[in-house]
Amino acid sequence: MKILSPCLDCGACCARFRISYYWDEKVPEGFFHETTPMFRSLKSKKDPEGRPRCNALQGIIGTEVSCGIYENRPSPCRDFKHSYEDGGPSEPRCDEARLKFGMKPLPVPM
């Protein structure tokens, strides 16, 4: 049985953290700012409650979300693990982001 990712109904980290990455990553035009000659950061937009979130995040945080540039998301997004992914210890930033948006940290699977 395939287990769906808990990220599909979360998305909190896509609003909690600012994402910067090296300029040569292939993120689509329109989704980033040039912050320095060597680095770019993802653009943000406001959700209906006025909270900033990544411009590529689609859906409602805590209900159902997806990344509009999933195949071309930058390396910090690819590297960010949800808590207990790979059976490892809790990822503090995942827990932090979820708490910020009123969601409990992910439970550790039995």
Closest CA to 11 of 110, 73, 89: 73
Q: Is 69 in the site for ligand SF4 (CB under 6 A)?
A: yes
Residues 16-45: x where in contact with ligand SF4 by CB under 6 A, - otherwise, as a string: ---x----------------------x---
Tokens of 81: 């693990």
DSSP string, 34-103: E-SSSEEEE-EEE-TTS-EEETTEEEETTTEEEETTGGG--HHHHH-PPTTGGG----HHHHHHHHHTT-
Out of 12, 21, 32, 40, the only residue in the binding site for ligand SF4 (CB under 6 A) is 12
Out of 21, 32, 40, 57, the only residue in the binding site for ligand SF4 (CB under 6 A) is 57
Closest CA to 57 of 94, 12, 109, 106: 12
Q: Is 61 in the site for ligand SF4 (CB under 6 A)?
A: no
**Residue 39 dihedral angles phi and psi, to the nearest 5°:** -130, 150
Q: Is 98 in the site for ligand SF4 (CB under 6 A)?
A: yes
Out of 20, 41, 51, 67, the only residue in the binding site for ligand SF4 (CB under 6 A) is 67
Residues that bind ligand SF4 (CB under 6 A): 6-7, 10-14, 19, 42, 54, 56-57, 67, 69, 73, 77, 80, 82, 94, 97-98, 106
